Amino acid sequence: MTKACFVHRLRLFAVAALALAPSLAYAGELDPDAARIVAAGHALKWNWTPPGQTERYGHAETLIHAPSTVVRTRVVDYAHYKDFEPEKFRTSRVVGHGADGSADVYIQIAVMHGMVMLWDVTRFAPPKTVAPGVDVIEGRMVPGKGNVDDLDVVWTVRAIDDEWTVLKFDLLLKPGLPAPQWAMDEELRDYAMCAVDAIHDRAQGSRGIAELAR
């Protein structure tokens, strides 16, 4: 995320924290994930190793004032991933569909401050309902189609109620070239936060919670 983009979002969420609407306060009280995001005043990001995995992923999550169906629709709009942040996501194009409802997406991203261009074809499985109100959309690199060793993405869309949704994103990217872990950690969590912020803006129709809370 660019510095200007980060500062702009931070200001918007700071205003929101000072002027929470009753519906936002209700969402925070209703759900611990929402409460954590509201308390921070912005989307959250970190690195971790998810259960059942052995690699470190970038993780980000946000709270969206929109129904989960709207959020899910934005998540599966793969052709517009390139609009997340043009400096990072250079290309996204659907190149095939499977009989099971999966979609193959050609993705090109810039890492190491634009010095390295990575690409692959990621196969996104159709949304899977894993619990009431919780959908997961997972994408895996198609073997042999890319200049990276591995790529795995997991979106989790969870409805708090009819108005509010918690969105989480986990990203693994193994570039196939020597890179220190700390540098990859930074890239992964920044890309994850950029992704959830972009879906937030498109699904909610505005960048800041404050704009809806007034």
Q: Is residue 189 part of a domain?
A: yes
Residue type, 196: V
d(CA 161, CA 58): 27
Burial 83-116 (b: 16+ CB within 10 A, else e): ebbeebbbebeeeeeeeeeebbbbbbbbbeeeee
| Mean pLDDT over the full length of the chain | 86
The pLDDT tens digits for 161-171 are 999 999 999 99
Neighbouring CB atoms inside 10 A of 196's CB total 25
Query: Is position 107 within any domain?
Result: yes
Quick one: three-class SS letters along 141-179? EEEEEECCCEEEEEEEEEECCCCCEEEEEEEEEECCCCC
Tens digits of per-residue pLDDT, 11-60?
A: 444 444 443 445 555 555 669 999 999 888 899 999 999 999 999 999 99
For residue 19, how many other CB atoms are within 10 A of its CB?
Answer: 11
In a domain, 175, yes or no: yes
Average pLDDT over residues 124-136: 97
151: containing domain: 44-207
CA-to-CA distance for 192 and 89, rounded, in angstroms? 12
CA distance 141 to 94: 14
Query: Looking at the domain assignment, is residue 91 inside a domain?
Result: yes
Q: What is the CATH number of the domain that holds 48?
A: 3.30.530.20
Note the pLDDT tens digit of each residue in 53-110: 999 999 999 999 999 999 999 999 999 999 988 788 889 999 999 999 999 999 998 8
Please tell me the total count of domains within the chain: 1
Lowest mean pLDDT among 23-37, 145-159, 195-209: 23-37
* CA gap 212, 65 in Å, rounded: 8
Is 66 a domain residue?
yes
* 213 occurs within a structural domain: no
pTM of the model: 0.84
Residues in Cβ contact with 189 at an 8 Å cutoff, skipping those fewer than 6 apart? 45, 46, 47, 58, 59, 60
Q: Using H for helix, E for strand and C for coil, what is the string for 40-92?
A: HCCCEEEEECCCCCCCCEEEEEEEECCCHHHHHHHHCCHHHHHHCCCCCEEEE
